[in-house]
Amino acid sequence: MKVKTMSKREDILEAVISLSDRCKTPGEMTISAVAEHAGVGKGTVYEYFTSKEEMMAEAVAHFIRTRLNTLIEMPFTGSFRQGFDQLSKKVDEIYRKNHSFFRLVFLTGEHEEYVATFSAKKAASQREEMFQKVVGMLFRLTEIGKAEGIITGNPGGKDMMFAFLCIASALCCVVPQSKELWDDKPNSTAIDFFYEKFVKLLN
């Protein structure tokens, strides 16, 4: 079986995602650093991207395509609770593999130094399109909850996205108190806590 290799363009985008775990500010995410991490020359980066902003915006799109599609396209074949557990597990898995970039894409406000970079028109458009897809995924899960009588309200898209971001923030220990929850409670108990909060936010 032939193994598909990444293109140089993909190597560069993967380097951006990987370096986000090491760079505390946009200034550290230089074209030179990305080129070195990708194993290409600086000139090669400019063959594919005209600026750092364009490169970052494309990295957002690449992250969505390669990491988030499995989240967005979750089938939810079981109960509402099973769906929530499935969603929580996938969020945790994505976060653990690329924690900084996950926060940058979903929780930009937690990294104020990156706000200007990710507020670029193209990157903002990529994020907004992704959020709409996440809302579609949450709508499918919410419909299961309604059918089971667990969700009795009629949450709109903004309500669903707010609920998701709150739980994602907590699962990723962005909320200061959430680390204590994970540390002080067995994993199943912590998930129960977040599940109850999720249901409350959707109602």
Q: pLDDT tens for residues 16-72? A: 988 887 776 666 778 999 999 999 999 999 999 988 878 887 888 888 888 888 888
Looking at residue 185, what is its pLDDT?
47
Its domain, for residue 71, covers 8-202
Amino acid at 79: S
CA distance 170 to 92: 10
Cβ–Cβ under 8 Å, residues 171 and 178: yes
In a domain, 113, yes or no: yes
Taking the mean position of all CA atoms in its chain, how far away is CA 82?
Answer: 21
Does the structure show a pLDDT above 60 at 84? yes
DSSP run (H or E) holding 53: helix 52-63
> ∠ CA(31), CA(35), CA(39), 5° rounding?
175
Looking at residue 46, what is its pLDDT?
93
CATH of the domain at 51: 1.10.357.10
Rg from Cα positions in the chain: 18
Looking at residue 150, what is its pLDDT?
96
Q: Please tell me the number of Cα atoms within 13 Å of 75 on its side-chain side.
A: 2
In a domain, 1, yes or no: no
Residue among 77, 126, 114, 106 nearest 169 (CA): 106
In a domain, 74, yes or no: yes
In a domain, 176, yes or no: yes
Looking at residue 53, what is its pLDDT?
79
pTM of the entire predicted model:
0.77
Question: Based on the structure, what is the number of domains in the chain?
Answer: 1
